[in-house]
Chain A
């Protein structure tokens, strides 16, 4: 079940998705976190961010809208308060990096490199902030520039997480690859809204947010399938995976690894069930993991 991306070997292809598993160590007394392929932390910015006012969540049919707004304690406190515990978990930690300015991505990456972090995920796709995030991810030149600048300063594995909102995701994916990304994370949430008719207002205080959950799975799956044909770097597939079967869908479409997002909220044990489920599937089909990755896809 091992996978390799660049020079890093992951125990298995099942990761937790950024923003859906806290800083990563909250559930360490309850879950065998060392069994995960990797943990992707919530988005970390240079300065502390308080996030958006509540309500920050609204449930939709088979989906969840969120406008958390990247609430986080900032890189300095993250390094001091969270990293020591995360480093002891016994699996790979991928720090999700967010910036309002290009330089912020670079600065955070430098700090993480110094702290011995081997993998980062550049968040160029969050729809819930005024500056940065999705705004950068819409522009192929900026995407390339950010990845290049971070690449100059970070030797480990760089995942670039992209948004399907208002963009040609194929072009943006290629830009990230040209900039030096080692892998792509596809996809971030899809922008959406929901309205409280009785009270004549939006359900989210901010008005709109990012949709996740099984509702977006077919869209995410198709994007993984399509982008796989266009790039030569691995893809982390994410979007509405809720069981081993849906995880395997992403592998067959071309994902080298998958990330579990919203389903963590419903079942925090889900990643371990999915690891077992993929193992069982491979055994039953008498196939190896590398055989099913991209099985339904031709370059």
Chain B
């Protein structure tokens, strides 16, 4: 069940060159939203950019939803400069992340904006949570603080070494895996394609969930655009319908 809401832009906060946070007053969607779900935003009225832009929900509480966005193209560039006012938001879309077993240890592995759905999940669950985050360069302290608040333990890598471990996240993770992994450990993975491919080789695919992106026409099952191939089967399923979260053993990334 999703709705369209004319959400009021409460604030757009520049975090650094790439990242910004947007806070929307969205009473209906904020009540319906569950971790792992996303919203689809019409950047501005008119025919350009034509399609809505899908964003994972970073947090939803009271009447507000929060999104952490990386400027990567024309849509996210225009949105960043949006004046205060109302904006059309459709959501919540996609299946929520599953509720964990009581004694599951939840390991969250996020690269860049891949941290976003993982943060919302971590915020909502009571389990032991270990967060691995990877960025190209040192993340904004505000983002770090947020993750610290919702994790029991946090490991950070930056590709340029400006903060934490120098290198890619999977290298840092390999150093820790022996201490972390058990049958009770569940992994939640979200990030850029190269990162997912690297982790696919390391993680147990039957205990790893991956939250995928897809180039989407609609976000609500009708365009068949966001196809992802089933592992070991000759057919496609959809990021917006069956996902965005998949058990890694079920999909080809």
State the Cβ distance, B194 to closest chain A Cβ, in Å: 13
Interchain nearest-CB distance for B232 vs A (Å): 14
Is there an interface contact between A62 and B227, defined as CB atoms closer than 8 Å? no
CB distance from B193 to the nearest CB of A (A): 12
Is A27 close to B, CB under 8 A? yes
B224–A51 touching, CB < 8 Å: yes
Q: How far is the CA of A266 from the CA of B53 in the complex (A)?
A: 10
B4 to chain A: which residues have CB within 8 Å? 267, 269
Flag if B51 contacts A59 (CB, 8 Å): yes
Q: Is the CB of B48 within 8 A of A62?
A: yes
Return the chain B residue nearest A264 by Cβ.
Answer: B222
A20 to B220 alpha-carbon distance, docked (Å):
11
Contact with B along A260-282 (1 / 0, CB 8 A): 00101111110000000000000
By beta carbon, the residue of chain A nearest B239 is A54
- Whether a CB of chain B sits under 8 angstroms from the CB of A99 is no
Q: Is the CB of B217 within 8 A of A265?
A: yes
A26 at the interface (CB under 8 A from B): yes
B235 within 8 A of A: yes
Q: How far, in whole Å, are A233 and B127 apart by their CA atoms in the complex?
A: 66
Chain A residues near B2 (CB-CB < 8 A):
30
A71 to B236, CA, bound (A): 9
The answer to whether B236 and A50 have CB atoms under 8 Å apart is yes
- Size class of the A contact interface (CB-based, 8 Å): 35 or more
Query: CB-CB contacts of A7-35 with B at 8 A, as 1s and 0s?
Result: 00000000000011110001101100000
Tell me what chain A mostly uses at the interface: helix, strand, loop, or mixed. loop
B231: min CB distance to chain A, Å? 14
Complex formed: what's the CA distance from A51 to B225 in Å?
Answer: 10
| Pick from B88, B235, B236: contact of A54, CB under 8 Å | B236
A59 touches B222 (CB 8 A): no
Q: Is A56 touching B224 in the complex (CB atoms < 8 A)? A: yes
Determine if A71 and B224 form an interchain contact, defined as CB atoms under 8 angstroms apart: yes
A62 and B50 within 8 A (CB): yes
- Smallest CB-CB separation from A48: which chain B residue? B235
B227 and A63 form a contact (CB under 8 A): no
Alpha-carbon gap, A66 to B222, bound state (A): 13
The 8 A CB mask of B33-75 against A (1 = contact, 0 = none) is 0000000001000011111100000000000000000000000
Partner of B227, one of A53, A242, A266: A53
For A213, give its contact among B50, B227, B228 (CB under 8 Å). Answer: B50
Chain B contacts for A21, CB-based, 8 A: 222
Question: When chains A and B are docked, how far (Å) is the Cα of A54 from the Cα of B227?
Answer: 6
How many Å lie between the Cα of A53 and that of B235 in the bound state? 10
Interface: A93 (CB within 8 A): no
Given the complex of chains A and B, what is the CA–CA distance between A228 and B52 in angstroms?
A: 34
B207-253 residues with Cβ-Cβ distance < 8 A to A are 214-218, 220-229, 234-236
- For B226, the chain A residues whose CB sits under 8 A away are 54, 56-57
Contacting residue for B225 out of A29, A30, A42, A68, CB 8 A: A68
B216 touches A22 (CB 8 A): no
**B51 / chain A contacts, CB cutoff of 8 Å:** 59, 64, 265-266
Could you say which of B2, B52, B220, B221 has the most chain A C-beta atoms within 10 Å of its C-beta? B220
Once the chains are docked, how many angstroms separate the CA of A262 from the CA of B217?
8
A214 to B227, CA, bound (A): 24
Contact B221 A22 (CB under 8 A): yes
Asked whether A265 and B218 contact (CB < 8 A) given A51-B236, A214-B50, the answer is yes
CB neighbours of A55 from chain B (8 A):
215
**Residue of A26, A63, A266, A267 with most partner-chain B CB within 10 A:** A266
> Could you give 23 example pairs across A and B, Cβ below 8 Å?
A19-B223, A20-B222, A20-B223, A21-B222, A30-B2, A50-B234, A54-B227, A54-B228, A55-B215, A61-B48, A62-B47, A66-B223, A66-B225, A213-B50, A214-B47, A262-B217, A265-B52, A265-B218, A266-B42, A266-B52, A268-B218, A268-B222, A269-B4
Q: Which 4 A-B pairs give the minimum distances between C-beta atoms?
A: A265-B218, A22-B222, A57-B225, A265-B217
